[in-house]
Chain A
C-alpha cells in the first residue's frame, strides 16, 4: 500500500484548547497527485497542511509519509524534504533572491557550486532572469515575482512533496492566472505530490486532480472537479461551486478539442475563431460576445482545424469529458486501488495547461515560459 500513498492522514484531529480545528480527518494522497483543500475561512485547511510538516503537532490520529509515521522523523529533517510555500512568501528580507532560493540546500550542506547551479536552474524554471533578479532583495520584487521566488525556494532541494498555503491568494487576477498556469506546467514536468490550500473554488477546479472540500474541520466531499460539479454532496458544496454558474464552470473543464468537428466534416468558416485548446466556457463566451452560433476552431498556429457550433455543445449527452480524460478519484480514500492520476496519462496536463480562456495572451506576457512549446519536458 505504501508505494501508492505518499501522504496518509488517518483520523487526524487537532485541538487548540477547547476548540477543535481539525476533526477526525482522513485523507490519502497518491504520489504525483495535486490535491486541493478548499473551504471557508477557519475550516482548518492551513492547520491540516501545517500538521503534515509538523509546524503544528496533531492531537490525535496518525499522519504517515511514505508509510512512515511523521512523529518518527526528526522534524527538521522532515521539513527539509517537504517544500513549503505560503501566501505571504516569508522570504528573508535581508537575503538576496538567490540566497533565499538556496536556503534549504544550504541547510542540507550541499557544496556551494551545487547550490549555485540549482539556484540558477530554479530561477530559469520559474522565469526569473538570473542577471536581473539574483541580486535583488525581496522588497524590490513585485508580488508575483516574490511568489515565484517563494515557489522556487520550496522546490530548491527537489522535495517529493510540496505544501502550498494560498500561494497565489494575494495576487491580482492576471498574475494569479499566470502563476496557476505555471504551476500546471511545472507539475506536468515535475510530478510532485502537492497539497494546495485555497478558498477560491475556481483555482481549485483549475489545478486539482482531487478537490477536498472541508467545513468545520471535517471533509464534506472529495473527488475530481468533474465529480464535484456533477454531484455536489450538499448545498454547501453547491454554493462553493458557484451555484448558478455551475453549468459554465463545468463547461470550463472541457476542451474545445474534445467537442469540435474536425475540418472537413462541416466546412463553414465564421468571423470568430476559438483555440482548440480553449474550453467550452471560453467558446460560449465568444459566441455570446459575437452573437454567433458557431465558431471556427484554430490550432496554436492559427490554422483552421475544425468548427464548433452551439448545438455541438448542447447535444452532448453529458458534459463530462470522455473516458480519454484523466481518471477521477471519487473513491479517494482508497487510492491504493487506483492508478496514480496523471502518471498514466501524459496528455492530461498538457491539455490542461492550455485551457486558459480568453486571457491567454495577457497571461503569457506575465509568464515568460508560457509561450514556449508545451513539449519541452524531456
Chain B
C-alpha cells in the first residue's frame, strides 16, 4: 500500500505543502491554548456580566488532552469493532448477520448519546468510561456503513479473478478488498472521529474531563465567555483532525 496512488492521491504525500492546512490548524490550536488565559479583556467585553471572564478550574491543555484521550479511545474501539464486524458479515460464512449488524449500527446512531450516558452511569459510574461507551455506539454507524459500501463496491469480476488465480480468502481480503475499500473506510472513520470530537463534550455532564467542561460551567453559571472558550477549542480541534484526514484521503481530482 505504500506507493498506492489509488489510496494516497499523491506519491509525494510527505511533501510539506500538502500538510499546510493541518499544520495551520495545529498552530492555531497551540496559539489559542497559550493565548486564551490572557484574553480576559476580550472575553470580558463579550460578556460584561461574567464575574470571571476566563475558565480557570482546569488548564485548557489538560482538558484538551483528556478530551483527545476519550475520543481516541472511543474511536479506536469503534474502528476495530466496526471494521471487523463489517468484514465478518461480508464473508460467505457471516452473510446471515449482515442485516443484524447494519441495524445495530443504525440504532447506535439514532440512540441519543445523552440517553446512553444516562443509562450507562448506573452501570459504569461517572467519568470517562460511560462517555467512551456512548461515543463508540454513536460512532459505529459511519464506520460500519462505509466499510460495507467499500467492500461491496469491489467489482465482483475482480474478486472472481482473484479467487480464480488461486488467492486464499484472506489474501483476497488483504490484497484486494481492503486496499480498494480503504478510501471509503477512511472517509467513514473521518466522519466518526470528527463527530466524536464534538460529541465528547457531553461527557462533561457526567464528570468526564473534556473541553465540554467550560461549556457546561458556562451554561450553569450563565457565563457566555466560558461557553465560547470551550466551543472555540472544540471547533478548532475538530478542524485540525479533519484536515489531517483530508490529507490522507485521495484528493477530488
Contacts and interface: CB of A to CB of B under 8 A. Distances in A.
Interface of A: 50, 53, 55, 76-80, 84, 86, 88-94, 103-104, 107, 137, 150, 153, 163
Interface string B144-182: 000000000001011111111111100100011001100
A80 B162 contact: no
Main secondary structure of the interface of B (DSSP, over half): helix
A93 B180 contact: yes
A84 B162 CA distance: 10
B164 A86 contact: yes
A92 B175 CA distance: 9
Contact of A92 (B5, B162, B163): B162
Contacts of A78: 166
A237 B210 CA distance: 78
Give the residue among B6, B159, B166, B171 with the most A Cβ atoms within 10 A. B166
A93 B158 contact: yes
A107 B160 contact: no
B4 interface: yes
Nearest to A87: B157
B166 A107 contact: yes
A104 B168 CA distance: 12
B19 to A, nearest CB: 24
A90 B154 CA distance: 10
A369 to B, nearest CB: 24
Give the residue among A78, A89, A163 with the most B Cβ atoms within 10 A. A89
B168 A90 contact: no
Contacts of A50: 164
Contacts of B176: 92
Contacts of A153: 165
A86 B168 contact: no
B7 interface: yes
Given A86-B161, A137-B6, A163-B164, 5 more contacts: A84-B165, A90-B161, A93-B155, A94-B4, A94-B179
Contacts of A88: 155, 157
A287 B4 CA distance: 57
Contacts of B160: 55, 86, 90
Contacts of A76: 166-168
Contacts of A90: 155, 157-162, 164
Nearest to B157: A88
A29 B165 CA distance: 21
A76 B162 CA distance: 11
Contact of B164 (A53, A91, A93, A94): A53
Given A92-B176, A93-B180, A77 B166 contact: yes
Nearest to A50: B164
The 10 closest A-B pairs by CB, nearest first: A90-B161, A80-B166, A79-B166, A84-B164, A88-B157, A94-B6, A90-B157, A76-B166, A90-B158, A104-B165
